[in-house]
Amino acid sequence: MVLCVMAGPAMLSQHLSGQTWETVVWNPMELLRDIFVILHLVGLAAILGGFLEQWVSSSRRITAVMVWGARAQIVTGLALVGLIYANDGEPDNMKIAVKLVIALGIAGLAEANKKKDTPPAAAWWLVGLLTLVNIGVAVIWR
Query: Which residues contact ligand HEM by CB under 6 A?
Result: 33, 37, 40, 44, 73-74, 77-78, 80-81, 84, 91, 96, 99-100, 103, 106, 131, 134-135, 138-139
Q: Report, in Å, the least distance between residue 81 CB and ligand HEM.
A: 5
DSSP H stretches of helix in the chain: 2-15, 21-26, 28-56, 64-86, 93-113, 121-140
Nearer to ligand HEM, 63 or 131 (CB): 131
Decide whether 109 or 119 has the Cβ nearer to ligand HEM: 109
Closest contact distance (angstroms) between CB of 137 and ligand HEM is: 8
* CA–CA gap between residue 70 and residue 73 (Å, rounded): 5
Question: Cα separations (Å) of 37 from 83, 101, 117, 128?
Answer: 11, 19, 33, 20
Nearer to ligand HEM, 108 or 118 (CB): 108
Whole-number Å distance between alpha carbons of 67 and 103 = 11
